[in-house]
Amino acid sequence: MKDYRIDTASRCDRRGYSLVGLLVTMAIIAVLSYIMLTSMNKAVTGEGSTKEGTVFTIEDQMQLDAVFKGFYINAMERKGKFLVPSELGQSGTRSDDTTASLFSAMIALNFLSPKALVSPNDNGWVDVDEDYNFNAYQPMDNQFWDPRFKADLEDISNVSYAHLPLFGKRFERKWNSNGHFPVLGNRGPKDGIDNPNSYTYGRNGQWAGHMVFSDGSIVFIQTFTPGQVTFKKDGQFLPDNIFKIEDGPAGSDAILGFTKEMKDDGPVLQWD
């Protein structure tokens, strides 16, 4: 007679082994999925890397386009000239023409939103100003923006984007919606010198960004001396480093930066 008794110990051992194997397999799948999703996230969004065609870089371009359109619409009320903080109250106080005042005034006048000013690719100390005080706009008291809005690259900034400093021939001749001159864009390293330690570099260790011209066109560049920009000196047209003043503070060459302070003899630029 056959013995049909079941070896329960053996069965339990086999079941336990299968369960452990299943758990190990699931753990391996989870790790591989995490690696794959992380890689996909970096490839698709850019995750702080300055790569053309990623979701974040395209979003960055769209935000710069929105920022320019805010300036352009405002300029339609000013005979084509972009906003100048010191001219709002006709005070002529040049010290008002800083990066913080410029963008804060544009927000106060409802031509820009605080969120549009922060690049998704920004790796620096930049945060959206969630508590912008619109009530600070009091023309009767000669107050045209929220003074708490920050643009300090050594501490905290509520704006990512650089702009043409409001000083010199470049400002007098080019800070308007006419022509084809760089007026806005992503920040770059000091004097356009290669510096992977700069917060303007992506996590891929490279610099790239967008440059916005006064006619609204936007180009993606990976060099500090883009071929579209030159300046004239001693009768010659020279490559123009868009992050370096090469024609003097009152000159006419292109420069995109942060104006920490505006003095009578020119802007005090700030870099990160």
* Two structure tokens written together for 91: 């005070």
d(CA 14, CA 95): 80
What value does the mean pLDDT take over residues 157-176?
A: 97
Residue 202 phi, psi dihedral angles, 5° rounding: -75, 170
Cα 163 from chain centroid (whole Å) = 11
Residue 140: pLDDT band (50, 70, 90) is: confident
Please report, to the nearest 10 degrees, the dihedral formed by the alpha carbons of residues 126, 121, 176, 103 taken in order.
-20
**Domain boundaries of the chain, sorted by first residue:** 55-270
Structure confidence by residue, pLDDT tens digits, 246-263: 999 999 999 999 999 999
Residue 38: pLDDT band (50, 70, 90) is: very low
Cα 202 from chain centroid (whole Å) = 11
Closest alpha carbon to 112 in 141, 76, 72: 72
Does 51 or 74 have the greater pLDDT score?
74
d(CA 38, CA 75): 43
Give the pLDDT confidence score for residue 204 in this predicted structure: 83
Closest alpha carbon to 150 in 83, 106, 84, 99: 99
Q: Residue 219 gets which letter from DSSP?
A: E
pLDDT surpasses 80 at 175: yes
> Which of 47-51, 87-91, 264-268 is the most confident on average?
264-268
What value does the mean pLDDT take over residues 112-116?
A: 96
- Give this prediction's pTM: 0.82
Alpha helices in 55-165 (DSSP H): 55-76, 85-88, 99-108
Residue 45 CB neighbour total at 10 angstroms: 18
